[in-house]
Structure 1
Amino acid sequence: MSSKIDGVLETVGALGKYQWIQTSFAGYAYFAGALQFLAIVFHGITPNHRCSLPDWPEDTYQVINERHNESIHQWIPMKNGELDTCHIYTSNHTNQTRECTQYVFDSMEYWGTSLNMQFGMLCSTAYIGTTVKVIFTVGQIAGAVVVGVISDRFGRKTALVGSVMVGSVVGIVTSFSVNIYMFAALRFIIAACYTGAVLAAHIITMEVVGPSHRTYAIAFRSLFWPGGTMFLSLFAYYLQDWNYLQLATSIPGLIGGIAMIFFVKETPHFLVTKGQHEEAERLFSSIAKMNGKTLPHDLIEQLKEDEESAATEKLSEIIHAPVLLKRFAVFLYLWFVAGLGFYGLGFNVTNLLGNVYINNLIAGSAELATVPMTLLSKKLGRKALVIGSLFIGGASLLASTFMGMHLDSNKYGSLMILVYMIGKAGIACVFLFDYFWSSEVFPTTLRSSLVGLCSLLARIGSILAPIIADLSNQVDTIFGSNLGVLIFGITMVIGGFLAFLLPETNNYRMPETIAEANVFRTGRDAYSSTDNKKIGEFSSEANLFASSQL
């Protein structure tokens, strides 16, 4: 079945008022998702600290007077020329030490109460903070699998609205967590919901906008995640108590979810592939009216063509489609690299020089590079820009690693952060392109499921991200604290070479079936994998459509 749905979308308005409304709500899911995903960066802040002095009931991190200073040095041992942050002498007349049972924190640096401070995730128990991050990313895996299936079976709107609403309500409850176990369990649910929300929002964007204008819609939507990242810095600076920040980052999603119930519509691709042609016709009529266009008179006949082949395909059938299977494997790796690098570099913000709030703001600004890159892909295509982002971003991270090893951070700190942010911008572009490039290669009948499985690999990468980011704390190498950045850079460069195996999709109609996807951009006809019956010539039609857009 050739992609007649995209053709109808072009007729009723590829990117009109209707599409802008739907894309705006899809983008809002990204905005709310960024608030939830990255809040842990600020929840887990650990300010400068040391053990509380036993002979100072109202001890503070800042030196009060000379006597206080003397008491600090009597009780707190020195480590590498600085006060030990985790140990205290058993008495002020011995050299035996023990781990702190109570701490004082630098209120000049951070005046709120972070998660680590409230639940004592410091020194020998600091690993619990990393574990909480890992649990969150495991939740992302659950969301990628479960919500992807829900989206393909029950609809994109159901998946989007349900995920945003449940995730936001759970986020509000999370702000009242009484222990770290409750917090971790609820964050798992938040991760699952918002991973599903982002996945569904992406599919909606791809399926309501005509192929000739899809790039512009993606560019517009890509403003929302960086916007959420930068807005989070503002929230986090003024709400430094972790529970108030968690509450504040959950309310916007709840408000948006309620609005989505009334304004978000099901996608025409889903309705047609499920055989709901009357609903699809009413939706197309509504789109045409809102966009000031005319609905084709023979719409129903167009949409019913090859209905059975589109509605009954199963995920296991891609085994008989070697070209699609190979491309799927490459996308699995690219998604893994994106999840590993994007979240790894995001979690690593607290380890950079300078102010964490400003660094997070800069990181969000760096991600805005996705907007011009998306628009540029309209002329240069997806493939060249993804390959360029992987190579340039990877090289920047490798350069950042060696700069950290050999340059004076006090003198070249700003340059080091700039090079690091180029790598961050590169991986942000790859993550964005992974979403809509893979969606343009995968067939409509299995698009959510295949993108969901790719997203699963990204979540596996995000599970490893905090572990690799903190790897230098466990493994002593010549790369020091830059070991994680080095690994992120190497994986990006490898991805750059593998991306050469993928087809260009710019200005081509998306395939609807496995057969069409298996011959997409190969110049071959599509044949049934079971009876060799010829079912269409998608490639020729796709090339005709592409040439008409040039």
Structure 2
Amino acid sequence: SSLVSNDTISCDKWTFDESVFKNTFVTEAELVCDDLPLKSHANSIYMAGLLVGSIFYGVFSDWKGRKPAIMVALLVQCASAIGTAFVSDWWTFVVLRFLTATGNMGLFMCPFVLSMELVGRAWRTFAGVAIQLFWGLGMFVLTALAYIVRDWVDLQLATSVYATILLSLYWLIPESPRWLLTQGRTQEAKEVLEKVAKANGKTLPPNVVEMMGKTEKQKDESPKSDGLLTICSYPVLAFRAVVIFVNWFVVVMVYYGLTLNVGSLGGNIYLNFFLSGAVETLANIVTIYALPRMGRKKFHCFSMLLGGVANVSFLIPVLVGGDDITWVGVVLSNIGKFGATGGFSTIYVFTAELFPTNLRNSVVGTSSMVARVGGIISPYIADLGTLVGGRFGTSLPYVVFGLSGLVAGLLALLLPETLNQKLPETIQDAVHFGNSKRPDGDSQPTTKPQAASESTEMSINDVMFNNDGNGHVNQSFVSEKF
């Protein structure tokens, strides 16, 4: 008989390495070879869920209130996340993950807005960035759970079922008094503020609720905002908008891309993910300290350029090779993550303070949508190393992230600083924002005359906190992490 057989033997199943994970959805659904891109598609669809969630819960929370929106988001997130653990086909998996993403966005965005509306103006930047510290804490907890529970089904349940505990906290969450006032529910707003004042050992100033109600009514009766296309009529504003859109796109793409690419780094994946969470927590702490001192522009550009240089430098350990310098790639990747997190935490503030009152929400909202596009394509860039292969393939995602960060950071240098500047209220204010002189020859003031509404704001500051609330921080929106 012949020693060589030309018979073809069919492959019954794949055998996977279980030294790191016992079982994952990729191995269970056998997303290999021709089906490998389905992994990137699944992550991209999840990112699309964040986009849909930001739109839906933004509208829903304005319609029904912050508290009901939080509850709906929690129910959607819990139901879809738990359901994900019991599916094995790709289509059902991605649909449930899409729904989970919408709920996750609502669970971040609605409490974030609520926290902004519960604190005084001087503390909004601190509250907005500090709330993101718990994202890093979640990464620490997830690392520990994943190390102990190495089957994806058990891990999915472990990270989903506990969220049902939050349902019991519904009764402890106050509704936003500002939202209540916009709905004419003055008595309910007063009850919330009285509870806050009592908890802080303060007394609610007389007539403050009525004053706030009049202020909110005046806002509702004010002329409608100009359309976003108005910017196109002013080259300076159009240029700034393009630069801002580019920075939003890049910072979200890089942030999520680096997070998804942790598994491609050498060394222990659990340690690498833990370090990624630690670096993110550190970046948020630094942001809280740096923004009111270093300025929005300087810190944002510093973060983007630092991250860009670190990511491009990832080429060095990859091309040189050797297991003994794997740690260099891990260090550079985490420096890149530090920069992306710092830029992420700053871009909301920077954007909100650059544009006039009647365009501010439109620009921030449009910027956030552009950012989601960056998030949607980030899984494909993160997986370039798998598709290209070889040493250069391993470094290719980092080179793309690094060059993008450098371009965005350099463009941001062309924007004016907004720290301690009066927020632009009109189109003309925005056009001349950053100039040392106004068109009428007056110097640009760094403080704003105190109006009746601001006097009310100071009274609320006194109720909310056991301090004088006089920190000079411009009113702004702050970053969402999703």
What SS is found at the alignment partner of 1:368?
helix
What is the match of residue 322 of structure 2?
Answer: 409
Q: For the structure 1 residues 320 and 291, does the alpha-carbon distance in structure 2 shift closer, same or farther, using more than 3 Å as the test? A: farther
Corresponding residue of 1:388: 302
Corresponding residue SS for 2:287: helix
Distance in 2 (CA, whole Å) between partners of 1:326 and 1:269 is: 34
**Normalising to structure 1: TM-score of the pair?**
0.71
- Aligned equivalents of 1:95 and 1:374: distance in 2? 68
Aligned partner (choices 295, 300, 310) of residue 204 of structure 2: 295
- 1:317: how far off? 3.1
After superposition, the Cα gap between the structure-2 partners of 1:157 and 1:448, relative to the gap in structure 1 and judged at 3 Å, is farther
Deviations 1:126-168 (A, max 9, x none): 2222221122112122112222222333333333332122112
Matched to 1:542, the amino acid is: K
In structure 1, the partner of 2:111 is 201
Give TM-score scaled by structure 2 length: 0.80
SS in 2 for 1:103: coil
**Secondary structure of residue in 2 paired with 1:213:** helix
Q: 1:486 to 1:508 in 2, by over 3 A?
A: same
Q: Which residues of structure 2 form unaligned runs of 5+?
A: 439-443, 455-468, 474-482
Find out whether 1:247 has 2:157 as its counterpart: yes
Going from structure 1 to structure 2, the CA distance change for 1:310 and 1:424 (only over 3 Å counts) comes to same
Q: 1:542 aligns with which of 448, 456, 477?
A: 448
2:253 and 2:371 in contact (8 A); partners too: yes
Distance 1:440 1:253, change over 3 A: farther
* Unpaired stretches in structure 1, ≥5 consecutive residues: 1-90, 527-537
Where do 1:99-118 residues align within 5 Å? 100-110=11-21, 112-118=22-28
Task: Say if 2:179 is the partner of 1:266.
Answer: no
Tell me the distance in 1 between the aligned counterparts of 2:72 and 2:431.
35
Once the two structures are superposed, what CA deviation does each residue of 1:220-268 show, in whole Å capped at 9, x if it has no partner? Answer: 3222111111211111122211111111111232222441x21222334
* Residue number among 278, 282, 285 corresponding to 1:365 in the alignment: 278
Give the letter aligned to residue 103 of structure 1: W
CA deviation string 1:486-544 (max 9, x = no partner) = 11111111221333355555567988x877995896689x9xxxxxxxxxxx9775377
Distance in 1 between residues matched to 2:215 and 2:93, nearest whole Å: 51
How far the C-alpha of 1:198 sits from its partner, in A, is 1.7
Match of 1:137 among 42, 47, 56: 47
The correspondence for 1:468, drawn from 381, 386, 398, is 381
Structure 1 residue 190: deviation in Å?
0.6
Q: Is the 8 A contact 2:351 2:364 kept in 1?
A: yes
Selected match of 1:399 from 291, 313, 317: 313
CA apart distance, 1:121: 1.1
- Pick one of 22, 28, 34 that aligns with 1:124: 34
Give the stretch that moved more between structures: 300-309 or 154-163.
300-309
Q: Distance in 1 between matches of 2:422 and 2:113?
A: 15
Q: Could you tell me how far apart the structure 2 residues matched to 1:519 and 1:310 are?
A: 26
Larger deviation, residues 288-297 vs 359-368: 288-297
Q: Which residue of 2 aligns with 1:35?
A: none
Q: Please say if 1:163 is aligned against 2:73.
A: yes
Q: What is the CA–CA distance in structure 2 between the aligned matches of 1:309 and 1:516, rounded to whole Å? A: 21
Aligned-residue Cα RMSD (Å) equals 3.7
The AA in structure 2 aligned to 1:267 is S
Amino acid at match of 1:163: A
**Is 1:150–1:159's contact at 8 Å kept on the other side of the alignment?**
yes
Q: Is the 8 A contact 1:203 1:448 kept in 2?
A: no
SS state of the match for residue 423, structure 1?
helix
Change (3 A) 1:432 1:334: same
Structure 1 pair 95/446, CA: closer, same or farther in 2 (3 Å)? farther
Please report how far the alpha carbon of residue 276 of structure 1 lies from its aligned counterpart in structure 2 after TM superposition: 4.7
Distance 1:199 1:498, change over 3 A: farther
Q: In 2, are the aligned partners of 1:332 and 1:454 still within 8 Å (CA)?
A: yes
Query: What amino acid is the match of 1:345?
Result: L
Alignment identity in percent?
30
Q: Is the 8 A contact 2:228 2:363 kept in 1?
A: no
Out of 369, 385, 397, the residue aligned to residue 456 of structure 1 is: 369
- Checking the alignment, whether the CA contact within 8 Å between 1:145 and 1:453 is kept in structure 2 is no
**Structure 1 pair 237/478, CA: closer, same or farther in 2 (3 Å)?**
closer
Cα separation, 2, equivalents of 1:257 and 1:443: 39
Matched, 1:481 2:394: yes
Match of 2:412 in 1: 499
Whole-Å separation in 2 of the counterparts to 1:288 and 1:447: 31
> Does the aligned pair in 1 maintain the 2:253–2:374 contact within 8 Å?
yes
Q: Which amino acid aligns with 1:190?
A: T
- Give the whole-Å Cα distance in 1 for the aligned partners of 2:390 and 2:18: 33
1:343 to 256, 276, 284: 256
Secondary structure of 2:15's match? strand
Q: CA deviation at 1:339?
A: 1.7
The 1:267–1:92 alpha-carbon spacing in structure 2 relative to 1, beyond 3 Å, is farther
Contact 2:29–2:88 under 8 Å retained in 1: no
Matches within 5 A, 1:317-332: 317-320=227-230, 328-332=241-245
Question: Superposed, which structure 2 residues align to 1:34-183 within 5 Å?
Answer: 93-94=4-5, 100-110=11-21, 112-183=22-93
User: Do 1:202 and 1:435's aligned partners in 2 also have CA atoms closer than 8 Å?
Assistant: no
2:334: which partner in 1? 421
| SS of residue matched to 2:277 | helix
Please identify, of 446-455 and 282-291, the stretch whose mean Cα deviation from structure 2 is larger. Answer: 446-455
Shift of 1:217: 2.3
Amino acid at match of 1:384: K
